[in-house]
Amino acid sequence: MKTPRVGLVVVALAVAFIARAAEPAPARYRDPAAPLEARVQDLVSRLTLEEKASLMQNTTAGVPRLGIPKYDWWNESLHGVARAGEATVFPQAIGMAAMWDPALMHDIARAIGVEARAKFNGAVGTKNEGARYYGLTFWTPNINIFRDPRWGRGQETYGEDPWLTARTGVAFVRGLQGDDPRHLLAAACAKHFAVHSGPEPLRHNFDVAPSPEDFHDVYLPAFEALVREGRVEAVMTAYNAVYGNPAATSPILYALLAKWGFDGHVTSDCGAIADLSRSYKVAPDDAGAEALALKAGLNVRCGDEPTQLVAAVKRGDIAEAEIDYRLGALLRTQFRLGFYDPAASVPFSQIAPTENMAPAHTELALRAARESMVLLKNDGTLPLDASKLKRVAVIGPSADSVTVLLGNYNGAPHAPVTILAGLRAALPGMQVDYAQGCDYATMPGGARPIPRTGLRFGEYTGLMGDYFANAKLEGAPVVQRRDRPVSFDFAKDKAPRGVPTENFSARWQGNLITTVAGEYRLSVKARGGVRLELDGKRLIDAWTPGEKTQTATVKLPGDGVLPIKLEYFADGVGAVSLEWELPDAASGYAEALALAAKADAIVYVGGISAQLEGEEMKVDYEGFRGGDRTAIELPAVQQKLLEQLRAIGKPLVFVNLSGSAVAFPWADANVNAILQAWYPGQAAGTAVADVILGKYNPAGRLPVTFYRATADLPAFEDYTMAAGHTYRFFKGKPLYAFGHGLSYTSFNYANLRVESDKLGALCVSVEVTNAGSRDGEEVVQLYAVPPAARENQALCGFARLALKAGEKKTVTIAVPATALRRWSAAKDDYAIPSGEWTIRAGASSADVRATAKVTF
d(CA 798, CA 775) in angstroms, rounded, equals 20
How far is Cα 215 from Cα 228, in angstroms, rounded to an integer?
18
The residue type at 239: Y
Is residue 799 scored above 70 in pLDDT? yes
**Residue 461 shares a structural domain with residue 385:** no
- Is residue 727 included in any domain, yes or no? no
CB 729 within 8 A of CB 721: yes
Q: Of 318, 351, 384, which closes a domain?
A: 351
**173-188 b/e with 16+ CB inside 10 Å = b?**
bbbbbbeeeebbbbbb
* Residue 423 located in a structural domain: yes
Statement to judge: residues 537 and 602 lie in one domain:
no
pLDDT at 459: 78
Question: Do 233 and 265 form a contact (C-beta atoms < 8 A)?
Answer: yes
Say yes or no: 395 and 344 in one domain.
no
Residue 297 has pLDDT above 50, yes or no: yes
* pLDDT value at residue 595: 98
Residue 742 lies in a domain: no
Closest CA to 766 of 790, 731, 793, 801: 801
Please tell me the predicted confidence (pLDDT) of residue 137: 99
| Domain annotation covers residue 16 | no
Q: Return left, alpha or beta for 83; rule: phi > 0 is left, psi -120 to 50 is alpha, else beta.
A: left
CATH number where 344 lies: 3.20.20.300
In this structure, the answer to whether residues 321 and 459 fall within a common structural domain is no
What single-letter amino acid sits at 456?
A: R
The reported pLDDT for the residue numbered 304 is: 87
For residues 464 and 346, membership in a common domain is answered with no
Do 421 and 466 lie in one domain? The reply is no
Binning pLDDT at 50, 70 and 90, where does residue 445 land?
Answer: confident
Which residue type does 621 have? Y
- Average pLDDT in the 829-837 region? 96
CB atoms under 10 Å from CB of 228, counted, come to 15
**Is the residue at 809 inside a domain?**
yes
Tens-place pLDDT, residues 734-754: 999 999 999 999 999 999 999
Give the pLDDT band of residue 431 (cuts 50, 70, 90). very high
List, by residue number, the catalytic residues: 269, 613
Query: Residue 804: how many CB atoms within 10 A of its CB?
Result: 12
Q: Which amino acid is at 264?
A: G
With a pLDDT cut of 90, the percent of the chain lying above it is 92
In a domain, 256, yes or no: yes
Q: Residue 24 above 70 pLDDT?
A: no
**Regarding beta strands 234-237 and 245-246, do their DSSP bridges make them parallel or antiparallel, or are they unpaired?**
unpaired
111 has a pLDDT exceeding 50: yes
The 3-state DSSP class for residue 283 equals coil
Residues 6+ apart with CB under 8 A from 829: 823
CATH assignment of the domain containing 851: 2.60.40.10
Residue 714 confidence (pLDDT) above 70 = yes
Task: Look at residue 310 and tell me whether its pLDDT is greater than 80.
Answer: yes
471 and 516 inside one domain = yes
Shared-domain flag, residues 550 and 643: no
CATH assignment of the domain containing 666: 3.40.50.1700
Q: Taking residues 457-481, what's their average pLDDT?
A: 94
* Apex 92 CA angle, 89 and 94, nearest 5: 155
Give the mean pLDDT of the chain. 95
Asked which of 581, 602, 619 is the last residue of a domain, the reply is: 581
21 belongs to a structural domain = no
195, pLDDT greater than 50: yes
Amino acid at 726: T
On whether both 343 and 430 belong to a single domain, the answer is no
Total domain count, the chain:
4
**Do 786 and 831 sit in the same domain of this protein?**
yes
Please state, in angstroms and rounded to a whole number, the distance separating the CA atoms of residues 234 and 137.
8
What domain range is 509 assigned to?
448-490+500-581
pLDDT digit string, tens, across residues 4-20:
443 433 333 333 333 34
Indicate whether 6 belongs to any domain: no
Q: What is the pLDDT of residue 361?
A: 99
Mean pLDDT of 413-436: 97
pLDDT tens for 568-612 read: 999 999 999 999 998 988 889 999 999 999 999 999 999 999 999
pLDDT at 187 over 80: yes
In one letter, which amino acid is 584? D
Q: pLDDT of 232-254, one tens digit each?
A: 999 999 999 999 999 999 999 99
Q: Are residues 576 and 474 in the same domain?
A: yes
pLDDT (tens digit, 9 = 90+) per residue, 51-79? Answer: 999 999 999 999 999 999 999 999 999 99
Q: Mean pLDDT, to the nearest integer, of 808-814?
A: 98
User: Which of 90, 134, 85 shows the shortest CA–CA distance to 108?
Assistant: 90
Band of the pLDDT at 25, cuts 50, 70, 90?
low
| Residue 162 sits in the same domain as residue 286 | yes
> What is the model's pLDDT at position 13?
35
CATH value at residue 509: 2.60.120.260
